[in-house]
Amino acid sequence: MSIEFDNNLPIYLQIMTYLKKEIIIGKLLPGDKIPSVRELASELQINPNTVQRTFQELEREGIVETRRGLGRYVTSEESKIMEIKKEMAGDLLERFIRGMQELGFKDQDIITIVEDAVKQP
């Protein structure tokens, strides 16, 4: 696992985003075991407390579940994974639209640009 950390965002949020992407693109499947706190901290060369916070947040959101004595696993709830996918898509869309508006594009212009882009091979 390789993450290029951004100094402007908390590391635990960046790891959460990375793991969510891995789940929604299918690299981490429902029911897959995720690395332990120590493994991930060592691999990313970060403080284990940061990884622990990441896992606590993912568990709070229902994205991972802890199985006592066995470790943490990706949720088996397909609806939760779809919810994450829609949430991330919404965030991307919001940033794109805001950026286009900052460039001076009107809503209809943005729609036309997106439609043209989708139609291209």
Asked if 50 and 102 sit in the same domain, the reply is: no
In a domain, 112, yes or no: yes
* Exposed e or buried b per residue across 104-116, where buried means at least 16 C-beta atoms within 10 angstroms of its C-beta: eeeeeebeeeeee
CATH of the domain at 51: 1.10.10.10
Asked if 71 and 98 sit in the same domain, the reply is: no
Asked if 61 and 98 sit in the same domain, the reply is: no
CA dihedral sign of residues 110, 113, 119, 120: negative
Asked if 55 and 33 sit in the same domain, the reply is: yes
In a domain, 5, yes or no: no
In a domain, 87, yes or no: yes
Asked if 90 and 112 sit in the same domain, the reply is: yes
Asked if 31 and 69 sit in the same domain, the reply is: yes
Q: What is the pLDDT of residue 75?
A: 95
Asked if 52 and 72 sit in the same domain, the reply is: yes
Residue 2, pLDDT > 80, answer: no
108: domain range?
Answer: 79-119
Tell me how far CA of residue 56 lies from CA of 13, 23, 109, in angstroms: 11, 17, 42
Tell me how far CA of residue 77 lies from CA of 28, 49, 65, 70, in angstroms: 13, 27, 11, 19
pLDDT digits (tens, 9 = 90+) for 5-62: 999 999 999 999 999 999 999 999 999 999 999 999 999 999 999 999 999 999 999 9
Tell me how far CA of residue 50 lies from CA of 3, 28, 44, in angstroms: 14, 21, 11
**Tokens linked to 110:** 């943005």
Asked if 66 and 89 sit in the same domain, the reply is: no
pTM tops 0.95, yes or no: no
Asked if 27 and 65 sit in the same domain, the reply is: yes
User: What does the CA dihedral 22, 26, 30, 31 come to, rounded to 10 degrees?
Assistant: -70
How many distinct structural domains can be found in the chain? Answer: 2
